[in-house]
Structure 1
Amino acid sequence: MKSKNIRTRKERKEFMGMKDGKSNVNEQILAFDRVLPFEGQVEAVALKEDGSYCLQFSAPDAKRVAVLIDEKEYPCAKNQDGVWEMDYPSRKGIQYVQLLVDGTEFLTPMLPITYGYSRPYNYVALPKPEESFYQIKDVPHGSVRREFFFSEVTGEWESCIVYTPYIYEKETERVFPVLYLQHGHGENEIGWTNSGKMHFILDNLIAEGRAVPFVVVMCNGMVQTVENGKRMVNFRLLEKELFQDVMPFVEQKFRVGKTKEMRAMAGLSMGSMQTSMIGLTHPDCFCALGIFSGFMRDIISGGEMDMSHGEPSRNSHLALLENKEEFVRQYPICFRAMGTEDPYWEHFAADDEMLKQKQIPHIRKEYPGAHDWNVWRMCIYDFAQLIFQE
């Protein structure tokens, strides 16, 4: 008789579909249109006569309202109508904001919601007419779909976001290159489309003939497992999940290349570190690497952000850098970029020095900005124009 603790793969899938293996198997449903003020509410972002913006929230019974931006608290002032107001300190495109009411954090329905800091989070998106490359335009648009697959690595159902260019449905015999694109720490698979507008960036570049049409796969690099009865994140498991679960699933369901020349990998922040670790360990699998606001070294393992309490990394993946000729042969395109105000600049500079000493050729860029989506949008914009070119 088969033990009750042993299940076939099919039985495990069915079991995980019924039990509460993850608190939210499905995606959070977000509206494409903005939320209009309902009774008792006001527009959260208001344009002032001098061209600046203010944030405003209706909370007539609150004793104190503030907004948290970049870990700094900005107090609001209450007007005669019971609306709390503050001068918005930023003029850049997208910015995460957290509403504080009497010291408690709240999500407001009057601002758009994304996922950051390991939870749903509000953000403000100001118009920047000088930056139209990520705006939706009158061009052919590709498709963004959420896919679900069972992971043998986690033993649970997982999801990934897949972008296919508009021509994917038209040229039904064509096999497309594929970019495996990762988010940062505290984010998940929706980040690159919901906050990064990656799909609009690629739609525009492809329509302009500046990028080759390719598929993009975005999976959750904050891989969750249960260890000693406690759910935790082990970012190092992405490597195993990518090769054992994600790539086989994608290559079976989509018309994407299965060779080194037809695959690339990129990521931002933690995702850039995962890209370095995976890409340099498996140079036979990818033809290009994108390191956005990024790290060549593993700076998470053994640190306070390492929930799995691993040992400090030996950075064995950097061994490929010891042979400049071999690195160039494997990765003719290695792209590194960071914002000039990034708080992790010291790590970027240290990697600069390491690559200089080892005489490793690569493409290096700096953008005005910090450690946020305003920089990462520019990163994918430039990187996408480099990869898969004949």
Structure 2
Amino acid sequence: MYVAGRMEMKMEKNKISKEKSNINEQILAFNQVLPFEGQVEAVALKEDGSCRLRFYAPNAKSVSVLIEETKYLCVKNQEGIWEMAYPSRKGIQYVQLFIDDTEFLTPMLPITYGYSRPYNYVALYKPEESFYQIKDVPHGSVRREFFFSEVTGEWESCVVYTPYIYEKETDRVFPVLYLQHGHGENEIGWTNSGKVHFILDNLIAEGKAVPFVVVMCNGMVQTVEDGRRIVNFRLLEKQLFQDVMPFVEGKFRVGRTKKMRAMAGLSMGSVQTSMIGLSHPDSFSALGIFSGFMRDIITGGELDMSHGQPGLNPHLALLEDKEEFVRQYPVCFRAMGTEDPFWEHFAADDEMLKQKQIPHIRKEYPGAHDWNVWRMCIYDFAQLIFKD
């Protein structure tokens, strides 16, 4: 749980009402979870922007928190509250709580979904990054839709964002962005952790982005092989064209032409965007590769449960014709964090694109392989697409 009020009380009342960000918003509740009997606020924010994590566990022998693979030990005070100095000032960061070496999902911190499981996280208010905060602007709608997939033979879910003007201009057909998450995440990631709906609300209100619909479906496509349930990320291509796009185009007023469609994704979603986009250039007008891989680095690796053949990359054939690539994709956007652990892959893609003289927009942001970078990616990409 977070404490932002102490900083915001110093702001003018009118400014709070218009620009205050609810940094406590999570998948289970928009408002923060208040301490119930026997509990304390999990995050204590200081005026200098630093904070401490606090957990009430009087009978515990040890309490620790794992953050980015580093374990931090907490110290117990006389009231039975375990505390530690929070080592980061990042906007959002996953954390794991351990009590006596057993991991617990605490209700006193917000909960999201990552690494293929529910996860606690800490999100700190950063005034300099107001672009993803909820503001006093017209807000679009976020709805969860359900469709039957012929590919998996099961009911599936997708999340759809429509800009505020979608409800007003009922005769208007809107462009649509198919936006994918990373490995271990699902269709809720871009709204719950990425705040893409607030980012677009703000951009549209400022006149910096064309109003468009966003479709977010689960790229961790589950299927059954040899009696075992597995994830096959490559099935997204077939599911997108056979199930998702027909469903979306039948229910929403979105474009059905190349000019009116774009695709983007982060991490694993960037692999899917590269593979699908370059294989179907007649279907999309722009590609967004966030923390992104042009090559398929998943197939045949430890994350590939379907045991495919690695290194084939037939989608890269489009890169052999520079003029054709430019004609098909006037907007190709690649971006990554300067501290990303996958940098060697980005560097290899840089060299490949340089050798083939493929023009594209490339940006770097301070940060690693996380939502703090991906929020900035979609912020910049959204301002480039669907503009003549």
TM over 0.5: yes
- Partner AA of 1:46 in structure 2: A
Change in 2 beyond 3 A, CA 1:182/1:281: same
Task: Kindly indicate whether the alpha-carbon contact (under 8 Å) linking 2:161 and 2:213 is maintained by their aligned counterparts in 1.
Answer: yes
Q: Distance in 2 between matches of 1:128 and 1:384?
A: 21
| 1:24 aligned residue | none
Q: Deviation of residue 72 (structure 1)? A: 1.4
Q: Deviation of residue 307 (structure 1)? A: 1.2
- Partner AA of 2:377 in structure 1: C
| 2:60 aligned residue | 62
Q: Deviation of residue 52 (structure 1)? A: 1.5
| 1:133 aligned residue | 131
Q: Distance in 2 between matches of 1:41 and 1:339?
A: 37
Unaligned 5+ segments in structure 1 are: 1-27
Q: Distance in 2 between matches of 1:49 and 1:338?
A: 31
Report how many aligned residue pairs link the two structures. 363
| 1:243 aligned residue | 241
Task: Report matched runs for 1:1-390 at 5 Å.
Answer: 30-48=28-46, 50-390=48-388
Q: Deviation of residue 47 (structure 1)? A: 1.6
Change in 2 beyond 3 A, CA 1:288/1:69: same
Task: Kindly indicate whether the alpha-carbon contact (under 8 Å) linking 2:93 and 2:122 is maintained by their aligned counterparts in 1.
Answer: yes
Q: Distance in 1 between matches of 2:307 and 2:351?
A: 29
Q: Distance in 1 between matches of 2:48 and 2:383?
A: 38
TM-score with structure 2 setting the length: 0.92
Percent identity of equivalent pairs: 87
- Partner AA of 1:377 in structure 2: R
Per-residue Cα deviation, 1:178-236 (whole angstroms, up to 9, x for no partner) = 00000000000000000000000000000000000000000000001111121110000
Q: Distance in 2 between matches of 1:62 and 1:149?
A: 46
The 4+ residue runs of structure 1 with deviation greater than 6 A are: none
Q: Distance in 2 between matches of 1:348 and 1:203?
A: 31
- Partner AA of 1:191 in structure 2: G
Task: Kindly indicate whether the alpha-carbon contact (under 8 Å) linking 2:92 and 2:122 is maintained by their aligned counterparts in 1.
Answer: yes
SS in structure 2 at match of 1:55: strand
Per-residue Cα deviation, 1:42-96 (whole angstroms, up to 9, x for no partner) = 0010023654111011111111111111121111111111111111000010001
SS in structure 1 at match of 2:128: coil
Q: Deviation of residue 313 (structure 1)? A: 3.3
- Partner AA of 1:270 in structure 2: M
Q: Distance in 2 between matches of 1:281 and 1:293?
A: 20
Task: Kindly indicate whether the alpha-carbon contact (under 8 Å) linking 2:174 and 2:253 is maintained by their aligned counterparts in 1.
Answer: yes
TM-score with structure 1 setting the length: 0.92
SS in structure 2 at match of 1:314: coil
- Partner AA of 1:72 in structure 2: T
Q: Distance in 2 between matches of 1:113 and 1:234?
A: 26
Q: Distance in 2 between matches of 1:189 and 1:145?
A: 11
| 2:6 aligned residue | none
Q: Distance in 2 between matches of 1:308 and 1:189?
A: 21
- Partner AA of 1:376 in structure 2: W
Q: Deviation of residue 114 (structure 1)? A: 0.6
Q: Deviation of residue 29 (structure 1)? A: 5.7
Q: Deviation of residue 240 (structure 1)? A: 0.5
- Partner AA of 1:289 in structure 2: L
Change in 2 beyond 3 A, CA 1:77/1:254: same
| 2:11 aligned residue | none
Task: Kindly indicate whether the alpha-carbon contact (under 8 Å) linking 2:293 and 2:349 is maintained by their aligned counterparts in 1.
Answer: yes
Q: Deviation of residue 249 (structure 1)? A: 0.3
What do you get for the CA RMSD once the two structures are aligned?
1.0
Task: Kindly indicate whether the alpha-carbon contact (under 8 Å) linking 2:27 and 2:112 is maintained by their aligned counterparts in 1.
Answer: no
Q: Distance in 1 between matches of 2:27 and 2:290?
A: 28
For structure 1, which segment, 53-62 or 255-264, has the greater mean C-alpha deviation from structure 2 after superposition?
A: 53-62
Q: Distance in 2 between matches of 1:172 and 1:303?
A: 47
Q: Distance in 1 between matches of 2:42 and 2:238?
A: 43
SS in structure 1 at match of 2:305: coil
Q: Deviation of residue 278 (structure 1)? A: 0.1
- Partner AA of 2:210 in structure 1: V
Change in 2 beyond 3 A, CA 1:215/1:365: same
SS in structure 1 at match of 2:235: helix
Task: Kindly indicate whether the alpha-carbon contact (under 8 Å) linking 2:74 and 2:82 is maintained by their aligned counterparts in 1.
Answer: yes
- Partner AA of 1:158 in structure 2: E
Per-residue Cα deviation, 1:233-287 (whole angstroms, up to 9, x for no partner) = 0000000000000000000000000000000000000000100000000000000
